[in-house]
Amino acid sequence: MNDPRQQIWPIFVEETREHLQQAGECLLSLEKPEAQRPPGQLKRMMRVLHSMKGGAGSLSFSAVERLAHAMEDALAKLPPEPVLARTLVDALLDGMRLIEGIVRDVEAGIGEREPAELAAVIAALGGKAPTPPPRTEDEQVSHELWPVFRGDVADAMALLGEALRNRTAAPDQPELVRWRELSDTI
């Protein structure tokens, strides 16, 4: 496959896997009783899915973008500290599994193939994520990237600013890694 985006695919793969790991951690936390989990896990998971959606959209990976959008929308309907229904958990896990499969294809140099179960998983999440318009012109893609870029940078700056403002001691290694990731996003 000769796709001009291939140079960026390793970055997409790495970032999407990080997002999937973070979403998985949030989901595990959300399955616990409210008293046994850190606050704000739903908001954190939605932020991760939003970033994943933006990254996929910026590279025209439609299936990942649509799945992340559907997952984010399903969570947006919930109260701030929800008890998740088993059916929703299963649908979120299915969405994450499909995204990981797509990432494996991208990593192998195949590109994005739309999974056969995509529509069923989106339906199980409670809706139909909008289908992005076909992108045939490089100019159209670059023009559409601005809102995604602006949103990703704003999110990363807010997270980095919050982390630095609340800092009272020298950061440990995991914090430094996270700050570096946020800086790289910016």
User: What confidence score (pLDDT) does residue 92 get?
Assistant: 95
The CA distances from residue 43 to 56, 61, 82, 157, 162, in Å, are 20, 24, 11, 17, 15
Delineate the domains of the chain, giving CATH numbers in brackets: 1-130 (1.20.120.160), 137-186 (no CATH)
Q: pLDDT per residue over 24-68, tens digit each?
A: 999 999 988 888 888 889 999 999 999 999 999 988 899 999 999
* pLDDT tier for residue 17 given thresholds of 50, 70 and 90: very high
Q: What is the pTM of this model?
A: 0.67
Higher confidence at residue 148 or residue 105?
105
CB atoms within 10 A of CB 30: 22
Determine contact, residues 88/110, Cβ cutoff 8 Å: no
* pLDDT tier for residue 132 given thresholds of 50, 70 and 90: very low
